[in-house]
Chain A
């Protein structure tokens, strides 16, 4: 986790600056009892649930992989990644297929809620709490209908390339 925290700033700096500056069209969804949002430009498609094939010696939040029209898509349990208990297998779950530059990843979430267009002044920076490891995955937050929605930065959610499984090998 520490590694993620140290790598994330450079990833963010190298990436397409801040998607929220130009466009604040966000896809909101439910996951681990909380509400989150991602920039809609990073969403490639939303797929219904299919049982992922587990990967050997993978970190617990990696649920495995599913067939995405003939190629193999890694699927991550987002709730578990963000520190909540693992999501149960449920046919009503959905997989959000996101793309961060060349990387395509599936995020297993409970349900997709809405597409929202918050104004810039509605978006609030994430306050620093403690050492802020988990918070580092969220970039901003905003409130809709009295519910707080965290805006996730894709680059921070995805495990850094190459270091993903190396540490879990025995």
Chain B
């Protein structure tokens, strides 16, 4: 990859994180937390995005984030009140910013969203006129090599030089340390970035430059003094410092406000006052070798004597590292292998006839404990809090509320619940769908709510909690609940349920998950696009999860999803068929029967059906369905456990797949129910039908994880409508 592309990728990753903190901050504002820290965090997020966008020449992004930043700055300086109207404008701007970043990430040419709202916010404040165009023309850098830099000169020069006497001038002294160039920084770029903030005058300070003969070409001997006349009057030191963010450890930076020309020399206290507040954030170099060679900096000393009196204790930042997901996965694999090796070793020791109480066996138990602990910790690396997912949903709620004209409040709970990263990523679409459904179909409009004696604002609750080794995510609303009469009527009209059949409430609710079912009578722009909850159900089942619905007429509806903590482990039934051990995902199994208890009938010459409750469903032999030749029975010499002829162990597993109805899989024996570590079949295998992945069993052998839908497809099972009574979550929660 082009190194620049790699940096670009990192930038967009950072953008995603920044957008998250932006959203978190805005939501906090929305909820009424309006302290300076929150506002600063929001501002910083937008500012960092702007900075990065500038570096990549993403002009529309720079332009928009600049407007955003300007408006936020008004908020930060207190000129704009963080009332509900303003915050909602900011929230919308945040969404737009996210869209814009997404467009840029895809490499498309974005258009700058309308900033009229943001500008409108500013209109009430006094800096409406100053909100500046970020595309400042590049002014030639002034390098006055002849004149010794004197602050006094600078001050007296200023009125003529700036022409904007209202804006206070900042003096930035920048002294690079020897490593600056080596680490890839370039002063020119820093100065150009400064220029975005306003007009700059750069002066190189030549004293201390070694004689030409001694000069190290990799080290900058120069120091610079920059006078910055900001285009916005309320520029803060933190903003200037942010420009030097990546060079902070590599230079001695001194930022101070020059006294206003007219009052500079007479009103030093004013200067102190205006400098003090932003100081808390400034990282000051402990040793400032360059400063003593500077002219007298007293009027703008960055450290007024009373500064320590305003401590702002900040929690130590959480230390994190970015790690390639692939490396983590490798670790997960290795630990999985360690667990298998360990159990193989244990089996070997027992076979070798070691005493159960011997030292070796005791030590092995310790080893087992350690490897299990290690597996847990490695798995937890992949775990992520669902917070980011929930935050994204706030936007969905906002948009859905807007387009339906309903008043909606989203309540979230258990944001800290952690779940596998991939699960978090793949939950986005189903959750979006469920929330839209809840708002579109579940919640009533404010009038109907008031009539029903409820608060006009509807509530959608999104909660997550861990329940032993599963995570349960629930979307609930306080709307009208499932209209069962209508659901049943529609299901009958669509031929999903035979007319006149009596279903209990739960069965009717589960009809919503049937393919092709849509309750909304008019196709709304939100949720009625012909795809229904069946798509949600499929997505959840792909994650080895289950979904269930509970509804109370008039009080609301709750849909809960139960998911495994990790995608790396699967609850499965280890079965044997034709001397091969295979794993059938537990989430797919509805019921099991022994062959002796089952009622099996032949249909024609080849097909066999078996009774499940009051229905006959097709039956497939697992090994045959997988296309294994029956010759396999006689071939293997290594499988001593191959006693396929014994009919007593033969069992039937009834499974549910999405595309066909339930069917039975015949296996020679059910060996165990166990958690297995999923090993993906890589590209090397191409497309393997009937199999979703593989796993390695305790004895080191590879076993296939069966994909029931694939078996149904390759066995040519007719697509049949599942009857509601057979829905899997009824029996497997």
Contacts and interface: CB of A to CB of B under 8 A. Distances in A.
Interface of A: 50-58, 64-67, 69-72, 74, 89, 102-105, 159, 161-166, 169-170
B632 interface: yes
A89 B337 contact: no
Return the 3 tightest CB-CB contacts between A and B, nearest first. A70-B337, A164-B686, A56-B626
Nearest to B700: A67
B679 A166 contact: no
Given A72-B694, A89-B636, A163 B704 contact: no
Contacts of A64: 702
Contacts of A162: 683, 686-687
A46 B51 CA distance: 53
Interface in B624-650: 626-628, 632, 635-639
Contact of B580 (A53, A159, A164): A53
Contacts of B686: 159, 161-166
Nearest to B622: A56
Contacts of B336: 70
B685 A67 contact: no
Interface SS of chain A: loop
B688 A56 contact: yes
B679 A71 contact: yes
A66 B702 contact: yes
23 contacts: A50-B700, A51-B638, A56-B688, A56-B689, A56-B704, A57-B689, A57-B714, A58-B627, A67-B702, A70-B333, A70-B340, A70-B696, A72-B679, A72-B696, A74-B685, A89-B636, A89-B637, A105-B684, A161-B684, A164-B685, A165-B688, A166-B687, A170-B627
Interface in B667-698: 679, 681-691, 694, 696
Contacts of B337: 69-70
A54 B694 contact: no
Contacts of B694: 53, 65, 72
B689 A70 contact: no
B637 A169 contact: no
B240 interface: no
B291 to A, nearest CB: 55
Contact of B688 (A51, A52, A58): A58
B703 A53 contact: yes
A89 B638 CA distance: 10
Nearest to A56: B626
A12 to B, nearest CB: 19
A53 B638 CA distance: 12
A51 B626 CA distance: 18
A54 B628 CA distance: 8
Given A56-B691, A164-B685, 10 more contacts: A53-B580, A53-B702, A53-B703, A56-B626, A57-B627, A57-B689, A67-B700, A69-B337, A162-B687, A165-B688
B701 interface: yes
Contacts of B716: 170
A105 B704 CA distance: 18
A155 to B, nearest CB: 13
Contacts of A70: 333-334, 336-337, 340, 679, 696
A58 B687 CA distance: 10
Interface in B90-146: none
Contacts of B334: 69-70
Contacts of B632: 54
A110 to B, nearest CB: 17
Nearest to B340: A70
A103 B683 contact: yes
A161 B714 contact: no
B706 to A, nearest CB: 9
Contacts of A169: 689, 714
Nearest to A165: B686
Which of A50, A51, A54 has the most C-beta atoms of chain B within 10 angstroms of its own C-beta? A54
Nearest to B337: A70
B9 to A, nearest CB: 20
A164 B704 contact: no
